[in-house]
Structure formats: C-alpha cells, structure tokens
Structure 1
C-alpha cells in the first residue's frame, strides 16, 4: 500500500497505548512487552551471576544494549553486538502486535463482549504451547506463541473493568486455570449506562462496582445495557488511550492499566523462567555472546576423498573457538546424501559435537546427485534466524524443485550460507567462461551463497586448512558487512572505514582475478600472496582472503579489481555498530498499526522500512540507499528519527531487481560510517497473505485460506505448498487471477495421530506467475499441542514452620517444611535445589523425602533451614509439563523493632528459587550450595 511519509508520521503521532506499535508518546503493546522481557531477563542474569559467585551490575538505563553488557559481564565500552538479542525480542513483539491485525474482531483474543472465560482459555492454551515447544527445544515457535499470548493477557487490563473495581495488581486467576473466575457478568446482565459522548464518566453501573462484578466492552455492536468498548469518537470501558478520563484523584486509567499489564506480563515470563531455568530462558531471548554454528555435510561416496579433511576442519574450528568470546552457544549438525536427510544433532557441548563429527562415515553405496535442498531447508528451519550455515558437498543436488522454497527461507530467516565445494574442475581443463567457479554445475550453489551474503568456495585438500580461517572469521555476533558486490567487468569500489571496526577482511571470489588495494593515505598493495604494507593476502581455491593490518584504518579505501570473468567482493569487519531492517505496512481495524512484511515487498510501489541501529546511542545525517548487486545506487530514501535507535525510511518505487541496503551517517563526533545488509532483497508484483500461525492437536485437520494479489499481472498463478513434517494434505495447484488482481486459495493440513506435543512445522506457500515468472511466498507455522494438556500447577503448602526470628539475625535460624504434590497430574520433576543467597552468613540446609499425600499421590516433603538474615524465600514446584506451583512466605520479626517486613517484587527482593528437577543431585545437595 502506497502512502506518504507525512501521513505515516501523522499516524504514528496518534497511536497510543494498548495499540500495536510505533507510538512516540505513550506506552504500546510493544513497550509493555519489551519492558517485561527486559526485567525478567535481568532477573535471570542476576541469578546466574550470583550462582557463579560473580557480581551483577544492573544497568542504569534498561535497554537491550545495556542489559546484554550487564548479563555477559562486559563493560559498556566493550564491543558486544545486541543485534541478535534485539532480533529475537522483535520476533516476540511482532507476534504480539499481529494479534491486532490477524484477530482484529475476535472477542476471545481481546477480552471483548464478556468473553472473559474464553479469553483465559486462550492464555492457558498459549502458555501450554510455549512450554511444549520449550520442552522440544523449538525456541522460535516458543517465542512466537509467547508473543501471541501476552497480547491477550495485556488486553484484559484495558478492555475489562478490573481497574474500576479498585485493582492495581494483576488478576492471578488468569494464569491459574485450576482457580475459578468469579463474579462474571453474563450476556443478560446490564453493566453500563448508554453514552454517546467522547468522554463518559461513571459509565459503569454502580451495582456492578458494588458487587465486584467483572465485565468487558462490546466492540462492534453494543447491546442495550452493555458497555461500549470505546474509540476516538465515543467513550467506553476500554483504557486504550492516554488521558481521556482521569479519576478524581488524578489517576490516568490508561497508565494504571498499562502498569498492571506490565506486571502481568512479567508474571507469565517468570512462570516460564522458573519452569525451564535461566539458561533456557536466556537462550530463548538470544542473550548470548556468540552465534549458533550449523554444519551441513554431504555423506555420499563422491565426498569420500575429502571427508576426513572435512571432519578435521570442523573439529579444529570447535577447538579454536572453545573458551573464546566467539565460542558458539549451540552446535548443529545435519547429514544428507542421495536418499536421506538427517539426523539433526543439536548440542551445547563442544565435546559431544566433536564425537558426533568423528563417528560420521561416508556411505559408499550412496551416489550422486543428493538431497542438498532438503538438507538446507531443514538447516534453515532448525537454526536460529540470522545464523551462519556452512555446507560441505561434492555433488550436484537432485531436489532442485525446492530451490524457490530455499530462497524464500533464506530471505525470511536472513541466514548466511557458505559452501565449501570439493568438486572443482582442473584449471587446465577449464574453458574460458563468465563464472567465478571452475565447475559449471556449482553455479546453483553460487547463486544461493550470493543471495544470502555468503560465499561458494572451491577447495582442495591443500587449501582446506586455509578454509578454516575463512569460517572462523564469520563465527562472531559482531560481524558486519561494509560492502558486497558482484560484477562481470573491471571496476573500482569504495568503502568507508570507521574507528569502531576491527578485523576488517576482504573476500574476492573469482578466477584469474587481480586487484589493487589503496588506503586513505594513497598507499597501495596488489594481490601478491603474503604480507604487505596494507594487508595479508592468502588464496583459498577460488577465493582471495585479504586481512587488513591493524592500525589507523579510518577513512576512504578503494579496491580496483581486474578480471576477465565474473567475480564477487565482500568487505566485512567486527563492530557493535550494526543495523537491522524490516519492511512494514499499515493495517486497519479497531486497533490500527504497522506490522512487518515477512515476505517480499511490493515491486514498483512506495514502501516503508523500519531501521533499528544497535551499538550506538545517537547518529546523525543518516542516509539509506537501495543498491543493486553490482553496486549501482538504485534509490535514495528519506529517513525520519523515531526513538530507541529506530528510524523510518521511505523507499520510493521499489525496483524489481535484487538489491541490498546501505546505511551511512555520522556519529556524535562527526566521524562517518557505512554498513550494508548482507541478504539480498527481491521485490515482487505478487503478494501472498496467510495467517502466520495455527495451533492443532494430533488427529485434527484444518483448511486455511490464503490470498494472492497481483499488480499488472493476470492469468495463471502456479501454487505449491511444502513443509518438513508433511502436514500439508492438499493445496490449489493453480489459481486464475483476473483483472481485479486478486484470488483466494486454500491449503489443507492434517496432524497425524501420535504426533508429539511441541512439534512444529513451517509451511511454505509459493505463488508464481506462469507468464512473467514473478513469484512470492508466505510462511505458515503449525504448532502441535495435545487436546487435554495438564495445565494444573503442583500444590505447595506449609506443613510445619518455625519462622520467628530476632532482630539480630546472625546467630539464629528459621525452618519450614513444605509438602509439594502434583495430585493426579503428570508428576513432579525430580528434586533439584538451586540456592542463591548473596552475602549469606552460612549455607542453608535442605532435606528432601519422597512420600504420599493424604490422597495417596506421590509427593515431595522439603524441610528447609536457613539463617534468619535471609528474609525472603521463593520455593517452587515444577511438574513434567512445566506448570509451576509456588509457596511464598516471610520470616517474622518482633513488631516493636524497626519497620514491618514487606513483600517486595521479584526483581528487587532477596530470594531463593527452589525447583524440583533431578533426584540424582540429592546426595550432592551440599555441593550445590556453594
């Protein structure tokens, strides 16, 4: 949809809280969700630091950059990229925002139309889906489900009369399906006065307030006697807008509801954190110093000559990065041949990954061609977004029908693919042609590498050791791209070096390639291998690796490349200063806003980008250019500053050729910088729209409609739908688009009986014009959950206590005995004690016994004793489905001395978290207390 930047800024100006996003004056769903995520992540980081005996220094200003530095124990001056953390936060926030687009008129998703019980069911189901996916290790699906469920939870506090009933704390029963929702107004209960005015004071009937009755507003058509939801022209019960109707004491209902929604979101996040532990929670959010490392390995007989060298190279990479800031937080290995793909091995343990690599064997009965595209599809779905994926192969792929699917996934995940190819032809046998590779069958690999911002390198046994260095260059979260181009003719390229850059490296892929590099002072160096005044040069197959010498690198550099054949140039470095980009589009409905475009943007149309800059607080004179693959500037853009390092960019008339984004500007000291996006962007005259997520139980089926829209394209549109779990049953193979430019199809899904809860699948729907070959895609995520999930938390109650403590606490102790049971649920996890007591005068003691409760169910009896100087304790029981039951209490001191003890929030209180986890640690309990 085309719109002016002036109109866009006007919309942003009036977007106010409990609206989706991009407001510049008040809280939004985005602000509420981000604040809660950062607070709970800070709690997790604090506990992990204390567990390791380290001091946690909370940031003065809580934002992704400052929190990441605090969590990883790095000073604010150190280079550390928060781009991965921000990207995964945005993944959660986006799913929250999209509820207002995809479920705009669903009462149950917004607690409208008295749908309070069904709204809680949405929350209960959503939390179960989050936990089921965390149990399966599906972090992306967990993030997306988490984003969706937090939106519904937050809307309760704006769309109901919870605040008018005098409540400033969250309603705990929304997260406790075992507890009743009491005093709910039914469809026939009068709840509000009729009000047609812009502001309606005292609109809720007095008897509703006096009886403490819960009610909510009606959005579309308000029955007589019911509460109107309210909008900008007519008052109502909702608290979506800032400053409409202050209470007599001056309280803004909108701000009060927003504050309660933040605490409620914090509560649901704390529940998940306690259920799965700090490490899993922080991994889900991407709070890590490094990247995931994904290897995809060809095990056909054609790779046998080089297989041992591949194994040695991978093991060396693991060893070289171990214990360094670039040590991967996750290792992924995927095997493939001509008949099979997998298994997938994922581990955090480098030794386990080395063992897995070393026992790999080549199956000499397997022949070429291979299932390369199937393996890559699995890698792109399994690895986190923006991952580096390294592929080792010597064969041509046979499943080329998946090529468009793979391109779609590369574009949507923004992952970088590097291919090490061992099937290069002898240069003496090579005929002259316009290619950067010796083997013409490798062109399909080269296309994928260039699209992703990676490289296709032809290697031999002699050059494998040098390839290790090329891979290790990429294994860092600080990797940034300064320049990347592809060309078929001699040319000179300019790139700008700034003071924040380190480890700057140029990669030139091609054959018979010569180059001359020149620094800002005019000093030159050619492509002669070895060390020179500017750089160290090495040749790896068809790749030159040029590592610039450390020193004064700032300023304008240039490189002149001379080659009779095609070549590519990529200039990278390490820096915290980087940017992320996302095309966005406006959506309407009761709560309008802006949502990311997750597919290809519209070719030939004006478009808007949201740019998020990390690693620096303030930038000036920003310029964003759209640049073709050969380096030509295609479009200039207009840039408008928002807040929190975000900028709106208006891109006029998107080109229909692949392009990347170049960001240029200057810091507060006036020094200029340049960064370029790595993944190529391809606009399209076709748009495919489908809901982003469905939740199904084993044995269930569903038909999901999708829409195909075209611009200046008529005729047959070929349709395909594929997924990795084979949930797709049927889809329209083709659709006919008339002059109106739109049509609708249906994809049918079926979840086989016996599918495990927590399994996910990504359905890729592709649409291609048979006349113009224009194409686009949409992604539908299918989340599987059991129909009758155990959602009842364990019970934790005090059976014996001695909690009276003197004022002088040093020589006294308190003791409590708790009975924890899951009743007839899925059962408690095996006991595990995790104790965090900073500055405690002595270790506490705990005794755990397995007993039967009064109903004959298995139970855990925990006796806990600690110093009276420990004043606040939180003890939790977790069952096998991740449901959390808590038992909170405080010690008692003489009332005549000092102020009374108060219960503080989890983020500020001294607390102990005791989770039931593993029986094996019982005998080693004492050691866990140090």
Structure 2
C-alpha cells in the first residue's frame, strides 16, 4: 500500500512496505503501508485470541474500544493479556512478519502473481492458499520462524489485491473471501478490454463502464523493461511502470493517495486490513488460540536450552544438568519467570540429537533425567553439529548452554555456527570440564583430582569454544568436574525474557582499559560477568565507591569466582548512573553487564532497493564497501525514543555514529557511511520521556557482527516436496580481490549434498555461479524445515560470508474442502432468569476426505463441549454436544480437518441461525472511514 504517517505530529516518515510505486521514500504522506496494515491486523487478531482464551478460562479481560486503534499497541495488548515480559517477543514477531512482507517487493518484484498484476488472479490465489497450508503445517511441526516468513509473504500478496485490482471500483466494501479459500472459484475475470486512456492526469473514470456494471474483475499490467501489454487492458501505473504510456494510458493502482486511483486508497487500505485479519483468523481457527499466540511470539518469555555431551566421561556433568534442571523448574514453576519453552540436544560421536522441544517442564525434566553417559572412543565429539541443530531449532535470541569435557571434532562447522549466531542473535554459554590435557573416553575413567599438579585451565583445545562464546556474547567457563556446580548459577541468571545488555566487550589480546556504561533507573538486578585468567580490575559505582577484584565483598558489591569466571553482584542502592570498570589484565578477557528492564531494542541489517522503494532483511553479513543500513525497533512504549545508534568496535570501543530517522511507529532507519574494522556491536542510547528526570538509557547488542567484501546470493523456493530433489543456484560476488574462493554447504538435517562445487574462481570485483543439489527424503513430514547454509571464503580464509536459507517442506494438498456441520437438535428453555436455565445443541460434523474431523473447539460462547466419533456408511462423523447457560445464547464451533481446512458451525438462539460472518469482528465491516481516520493517527 502506501505510507502510514502521524501527520498530526508532523513526523517525517517513509514508506516501508509499498508496492513499487511509492515505497521507502522519505516524505510526508497520508498513505498507509503494508507494514501498518500488517501490524494492525496482527494486533487485532491477537486481541481476539487473548480475549477468547481469557473467556474460556473464566478470567477477566480489559476491553479495548474497537474503533480506537490508537489505544491498541503491543504494550497495551500484552498488559491486558499477560505478563509485560512478553512484549519483546511479540514485537520481534511482528517485525519478522512485516520485514518478510517488505521482502516481496525486492525479491519477487517481477513476479506478477505476487502482486495480482496482469490479471494473475488464479496464480495469486494459489500462492495465498498454498502459503496458508505451509503456515499451518509449519506450526504443527513447531517451525514457527518458517511459518512467520511465509505469513509475511502471503499477506503482501493478499493486501496488493485491493490496491492493484478493481475490487474497490466495483463497489465492494468487504474482503474477497474466495482468495483464502482454495475450494472457491475466482469468478467473473474480465475477458475483454478493460480500460480507456486517462484524461491528462485524471484517471478516475478510466475503467470501462461495462466492466463496472458487469462486475468484471481486472487488475493493472506492470512492466519495468517493456511497454507492451494486451490490447485494451489497464496498466498498473506509477513512475516505474512503462506500460502506462501505452494505450490505454494511465493506471488503476491505489498504492498511495497520489496514485492514479489514489482517491480510493483509504478504502483499499481499510478492506486490506479486514482481509489480513480474516486470513489470520482462519489460521488461528486451524491451529487454536494457544498455538496462534505462540506463532505471534506472544508466549515467548525465555527459553531453557541445553546441548549436552553424553559420552562416558560426562556422568558427573549430566548429573549436574539434572540437578540444575530440577532446581530451575521447581523454583520458577508457576512464576512469571518460568521458561516458556525447553529444548534439549544431546550429542556424542557419531550420533547427535534428536532435538526435543516442549513447553511442558515436567516432560523436559523427564527427558533430561533419561540421559545416560556411555560410549565415546576418541576424545573429540560432534559438539558443533549439536549446536547447529540447537541454533536452527531454538527461537531467536535464545540463551544456549553447552556441557562438554571434549574438544570439537567437527571444527569445519565453525563458520556455519558463526553464521547462525549472527542470524538468530542467540548466545552460547560453554561449561567446559576438560581442564586436563588428556582422558580416556571409552573407559569413562574419571579425571585426576590433584589440581595443583595436573589442572591446566585455558585448555588450548577450547579456543574454538571461546571464539564462539565471544562472538555470541556468551561465556566460555572452564571449570573442573568438582567446581561445575558453582558455575551453573549463570543459568538461573540468564533465562529471563526482560534481560538487556548495557555493556559487552572482548579484549583478545588483552590490554589495560577503562570501560564505562550507563545504568538507567528502569534497569533492575544489574549483574556483571568477567571471564579470563589472572584477572585484575577495579569497579567504581555511580556514587564513587570502588572495589578491586581481589575483594570478594566491599563497597560496590559481592564478587564470586569460579575458576576463570567471575560474577559481580552490585549493592542494590548503587545501581543507577555511570559505572566504570578499569581492567589491568595481561590475558584475554570478556566483560558483560546486563540486567532486567522493559526498555530494549531490536535490529536487523537491511538492503534497500535501487530506488529506495522497499527493503529486505539480509540473510548474510552486510557489505564492507558500502553504506550499512539498520532497521531499529524500540521496545518499551511510545515514550521510549532513541537519540543515537552507533557501531562499537569489539576490540577498541571506537564508536561510529549513524544517521537516524523515524520511518514508522516505533521503527527507525540508521545509516552508516563507515564501520569498524573487524567485529562490532550495535549500541542504542536514548530517552525515556516518561521519567521526570534522568530518563537517559543505554543498550547494546550482545553478539558481535562483521561486514564482508564477499556476497552470497541464493533464494529459497516456495517449498520443497518430500521425495523430491532441490536444485538451488547461488552466486558469489566479491568487491575485493579475486582468486579461488572455497565453497561449503551444510544443513541441520544431516542430508548429503549430491552436487557441490568445492571452489569458485572469481576475478577482481567479479562474480561466479554455482549450484547445489539436495535430496529431500520421502518420509519428511509436511511442515518440516531444512536450514541450509551456503558459505564462501576468500583465499587464505581471512574473509567469509554466507547465505542462510530456511526451506519449507510441504506435501501436495489434495483435500481443499472444509468440514461441514448439520444441526440434529436444539433443546432450549430460556424464559425467565437466564442464569437458572440452559440450552443444548447437537450437531453432526463431517469431512469430505473421509479422514474425519481432527479437532472441534469453541471460539464464541461459554459452555461445555463433548464430542464422539461414529462411522456412518464408511464416513467418519463427529457428533458434538454443546450445553450452555441461557445467558450465553450464541455459539460458534470451529471444525478443523487433517489438512487444516477450517469449517465454522454457528448457532444463535437470538436470531435463530441468521446469516453470520463470524470470522471478523463486526467493527471490521463497518465504519471504515472512522477506523482509517484513527488508524492514520498512529
């Protein structure tokens, strides 16, 4: 669509998700973007899910005014539905879906069906319905990131229908529901000429009268490199469309208020909001409210993820993992800090996995308790393979804890793990108990305990673990078997969803340096981690009190030491203000300062289209030789605003400030014309205007980031079919010197790459193409995902880059017919006091595929539901018996079959089953003008 502005406040905004006419340009406007439409639809659908879930659980719910979207924000919705700790995960998900929506305008710009251009209605509808099937199947397999990406894509296509077709010109005031129903026809597509030339710049009447009166459906033709189009057909229009100058001249798009049909932009945007909500409601009905909220990131507070070596010498470590698991679960069970998800990945050699993922703490505890230490053989184990699986299977920004007493056998996966760290922004924390220089893995012999003679901390074989921990902002803690239990306190400290980082630093090689960081009054439970050997430092708090590292207790706080790992717990009264840490150590060290706060930021590197009309989030490192661009989203409410975004050198703390512009509600574009050499962090400083005084805050990314002179380009297909083989072309480009570039490909499913060039020869500033071939096993469940990482390394290995692709696996859908219901009987006696009487409903439900109904749930109504299955002439029939108080005279039952097709069974005693549009709240159909007026004030 066009551009959503807060024009009443005079903010300078830009179009983020605009289809190819006015997109991503800095200007004042009153148009609505794809991003604004998507965000509001998600907020509305999530509101309905929260409200219905609260109703079914008998809980109170804070009602929002349907016609005042201004009051409906991520923060207000989370406050009404659940714990404030969920805001970051919710915002991250909305950003993910919005960003993927914008991606379509860069990587699918020439595909007419993605935009309903060129009258490609059938192909466009297939993209939407097939995409919905992938979303539902992915959620069923708990592959939420793949589901979110696909959801963003299909929402873009759906929204474009209302801007690019003549649906609005035909007088329609509701969404075209057939676009999300694969068993419905797309009717009355125009089969003749559709437009006349505009009169100068006036295109308001360029659609032919017979097209309007006969309700013929058409859309504009669009081309950048050619001016040809079928005779008499409408053009899309806009400054990029060359067909607009071919008779009939002009266009019919409603992408912005300044488009050829811009007078209808607000109507198109309003119905696009309703249509997007309708699609989300169908998905919600298919997967259920709990899974829908999980898909929206609305339940992700924190994740407890363990990657555990299970070879024979690990019996003590596994026992400690069991103890820690039980302690955390028992302590946090039922509290707001209880992890929302538990993940376990065991590994040894030659086995690894499987990945266990559950929301049930008792299930996780039983899985951990079932671990045993056995086997082994040679010392190195497949630690990085286990990490690869954990990184691809965990939610973004997870804290992952690795337990091993062995060096890594699969060191060739180091760059793959680095790539996944950068893409997921997850942190790795290693608990390393291989302080001894040798051990007998097969026999399980316990290590010696004479530490004075035999212990060698900073085992050189652990360097790869230290490198990965430093890159991810985590810790590599080297301890003995006996001191492991003292170090595991880190796990309890770092599994809170509201954790924020205020300082992250790595010095390797070491150097004397003083670090400063600002702690604001919203930050609680400040904790400082310092890792290294022979540490010596001095900490000064905001009141001026100091304490050296050799004082376990002092004026600043308490310092706990476990081998190479130290934790500083400051005194509570001295938290807010500027802190100083003066390091004077000769060996490498890391520093991390963090705490709990509702204020934080999210960020992604993006590439802009050549005409700055749209953007796409990078799935690789950004380019080293050009401008670097970040999209930054603030967390904490509309009183939180950044004043500066900077890139901080990881080795020297040099700051490179960016140019900052607000581009949408709570979103900012930061551009940099120079970047630090080597690794760097992102730091945001800003102001919280809700604070009467000293509202300044500082936040920093925990992971290290890097640029590259290499670019790897590859695009994932729509989906993969089980039993088929993927052929995936890719391109490697360099802006530096040429030579022989090594190529490697890995995946998290341990699938064998059939064909892979081991290297590509590039000229200076040149490029070369390659192809990989990957078989998909026939028994791969629909909804699975395969994460493929393609890597290219420059000669000598000093520079490398990658492309990380999430490939969705989807079996062909053969059943596209939704279940149906038939009322068998209604018994109601609702005269008098409604609370003293009840009514009953009996319905038969069936599915045309013959497989039967997979689930029946109540989406509207307060009552009890019982179901039973019977076989009637070879057809599975589900009998549903519903009872409710006469105070609740309406019910809507949702029926879902095995393919995720949704059928609705609605009955009301009030209107005796009159026609009902249950998918959308009534307000979405009415008063679109009022909705849009208030929506434009966001």
Selected match of 1:635 from 656, 663, 668: 656
Cα-to-partner distance string for 1:324-377 (whole Å, 9 max, x where unaligned) = 222111111110002110122111111121111112111134442101111000
Structure 1 residue 650 displacement after superposition: 1.9
Structure 1 residue 677 displacement after superposition: 0.8
Q: Does 1:341 align with 2:352?
A: yes
Which secondary structure does the structure 1 equivalent of 2:282 belong to?
helix
Selected match of 2:821 from 787, 796, 805: 796
1:256-655 map, 5 Å: 256-288=267-299, 290-425=301-436, 428=452, 438-487=458-507, 488-528=510-550, 530-588=552-610, 592-619=613-640, 622-655=643-676
Structure 1 residue 889 displacement after superposition: 4.0
1:729-768 map, 5 Å: 729-768=754-793
- Residue in structure 1 matched with residue 218 of structure 2 by the alignment: 215
Q: Does 1:134 align with 2:158?
A: no
Which secondary structure does the structure 2 equivalent of 1:361 belong to?
coil
Structure 1 residue 892 displacement after superposition: 3.6
Structure 1 residue 477 displacement after superposition: 0.9
Q: Does 1:664 align with 2:685?
A: yes
**Shift in alpha-carbon separation, 1:836–1:801, aligned structure 2, 3 A:** closer
- Residue in structure 2 matched with residue 841 of structure 1 by the alignment: none
Distance in 2 between residues matched to 1:371 and 1:902, nearest whole Å: 57
**Shift in alpha-carbon separation, 1:772–1:544, aligned structure 2, 3 A:** closer
1:139-154 map, 5 Å: 139-154=144-159
**Shift in alpha-carbon separation, 1:764–1:15, aligned structure 2, 3 A:** closer
CA contact 1:193–1:203 (8 Å) conserved in 2: yes
Which secondary structure does the structure 1 equivalent of 2:754 belong to?
strand
Q: Note the residue ranges of structure 1 that are not aligned, 5 or more in a row.
A: 1-8, 75-79, 839-843, 911-930
CA contact 1:81–1:577 (8 Å) conserved in 2: no
**Shift in alpha-carbon separation, 1:846–1:490, aligned structure 2, 3 A:** closer
Structure 1 residue 483 displacement after superposition: 0.9
**Shift in alpha-carbon separation, 1:44–1:451, aligned structure 2, 3 A:** same
Distance in 2 between residues matched to 1:649 and 1:230, nearest whole Å: 31
Cα-to-partner distance string for 1:452-477 (whole Å, 9 max, x where unaligned) = 00000012344333323211110011
Structure 1 residue 800 displacement after superposition: 4.7
Distance in 1 between residues matched to 2:775 and 2:617, nearest whole Å: 28
1:167-178 map, 5 Å: 167-178=172-183
Selected match of 2:908 from 890, 894, 901: 890
Distance in 2 between residues matched to 1:872 and 1:837, nearest whole Å: 6
227-236 or 202-211: bigger deviation:
227-236
Q: CA RMSD in A?
A: 3.0
CA contact 2:552–2:559 (8 Å) conserved in 1: yes
Distance in 1 between residues matched to 2:916 and 2:190, nearest whole Å: 35
- Residue in structure 1 matched with residue 203 of structure 2 by the alignment: 200
- Residue in structure 2 matched with residue 923 of structure 1 by the alignment: none
Distance in 2 between residues matched to 1:369 and 1:771, nearest whole Å: 26
1:752-831 map, 5 Å: 752-771=777-796, 773-800=798-825, 816-829=841-854
**Shift in alpha-carbon separation, 1:11–1:400, aligned structure 2, 3 A:** farther
Q: Does 1:224 align with 2:242?
A: no
Which secondary structure does the structure 2 equivalent of 1:696 belong to?
coil
189-198 or 152-161: bigger deviation:
189-198
Distance in 2 between residues matched to 1:837 and 1:530, nearest whole Å: 60
Cα-to-partner distance string for 1:268-287 (whole Å, 9 max, x where unaligned) = 11111111111111111111
CA contact 1:693–1:781 (8 Å) conserved in 2: no
Distance in 2 between residues matched to 1:365 and 1:702, nearest whole Å: 35
Cα-to-partner distance string for 1:360-412 (whole Å, 9 max, x where unaligned) = 11113444210111100000001011111000000011111111111111111
Distance in 2 between residues matched to 1:232 and 1:713, nearest whole Å: 38
Distance in 2 between residues matched to 1:623 and 1:798, nearest whole Å: 62
CA contact 2:18–2:614 (8 Å) conserved in 1: no
Distance in 2 between residues matched to 1:894 and 1:486, nearest whole Å: 70
Structure 1 residue 711 displacement after superposition: 1.1
Structure 1 residue 667 displacement after superposition: 2.7
Structure 1 residue 420 displacement after superposition: 0.4
Distance in 2 between residues matched to 1:479 and 1:302, nearest whole Å: 34
Q: Does 1:71 align with 2:81?
A: yes
Distance in 2 between residues matched to 1:66 and 1:774, nearest whole Å: 45
**Shift in alpha-carbon separation, 1:893–1:593, aligned structure 2, 3 A:** closer
**Shift in alpha-carbon separation, 1:764–1:288, aligned structure 2, 3 A:** same
Structure 1 residue 18 displacement after superposition: 4.8
Distance in 1 between residues matched to 2:772 and 2:834, nearest whole Å: 67
Distance in 2 between residues matched to 1:902 and 1:822, nearest whole Å: 21
Cα-to-partner distance string for 1:480-523 (whole Å, 9 max, x where unaligned) = 11112122022221111110111101111111212221112221
Q: Does 1:707 align with 2:714?
A: no
Distance in 2 between residues matched to 1:431 and 1:466, nearest whole Å: 17
Structure 1 residue 47 displacement after superposition: 1.8
Cα-to-partner distance string for 1:275-329 (whole Å, 9 max, x where unaligned) = 1111111111111262121100001123234332232223223323222222111
Q: Does 1:674 align with 2:694?
A: no
Query: When the two structures are superposed, what TM-score results if normalisation uses the length of structure 2?
Result: 0.88
Which secondary structure does the structure 1 equivalent of 2:44 belong to?
helix
347-356 or 233-242: bigger deviation:
233-242
**Shift in alpha-carbon separation, 1:798–1:417, aligned structure 2, 3 A:** same
- Residue in structure 2 matched with residue 924 of structure 1 by the alignment: none
Distance in 1 between residues matched to 2:505 and 2:376, nearest whole Å: 41
CA contact 1:806–1:893 (8 Å) conserved in 2: no
Distance in 2 between residues matched to 1:587 and 1:747, nearest whole Å: 27
Which secondary structure does the structure 1 equivalent of 2:48 belong to?
helix
Structure 1 residue 574 displacement after superposition: 0.9
Distance in 2 between residues matched to 1:624 and 1:353, nearest whole Å: 40
**Shift in alpha-carbon separation, 1:631–1:702, aligned structure 2, 3 A:** same
CA contact 1:302–1:368 (8 Å) conserved in 2: no
CA contact 2:14–2:663 (8 Å) conserved in 1: no
Q: Note the residue ranges of structure 2 that are not aligned, 5 or more in a row.
A: 1-9, 65-69, 245-249, 437-449, 925-938
519-528 or 300-309: bigger deviation:
300-309
CA contact 1:386–1:415 (8 Å) conserved in 2: yes
CA contact 1:482–1:674 (8 Å) conserved in 2: yes
Distance in 2 between residues matched to 1:649 and 1:586, nearest whole Å: 12
Higher relative contact order structure (alpha carbons within 8 Å, sequence separation ≥ 6): 2
CA contact 1:58–1:67 (8 Å) conserved in 2: no
Which secondary structure does the structure 1 equivalent of 2:572 belong to?
coil
Which secondary structure does the structure 1 equivalent of 2:789 belong to?
strand
- Residue in structure 1 matched with residue 927 of structure 2 by the alignment: none
**Shift in alpha-carbon separation, 1:294–1:197, aligned structure 2, 3 A:** farther
CA contact 1:697–1:787 (8 Å) conserved in 2: yes
Query: When the two structures are superposed, what TM-score results if normalisation uses the length of structure 1?
Result: 0.88
Structure 1 residue 62 displacement after superposition: 1.6
Distance in 2 between residues matched to 1:802 and 1:909, nearest whole Å: 31
Distance in 2 between residues matched to 1:905 and 1:561, nearest whole Å: 61
- Residue in structure 1 matched with residue 875 of structure 2 by the alignment: 857
Structure 1 residue 678 displacement after superposition: 0.5
**Shift in alpha-carbon separation, 1:881–1:572, aligned structure 2, 3 A:** same
- Residue in structure 2 matched with residue 927 of structure 1 by the alignment: none
Q: Does 1:241 align with 2:256?
A: yes
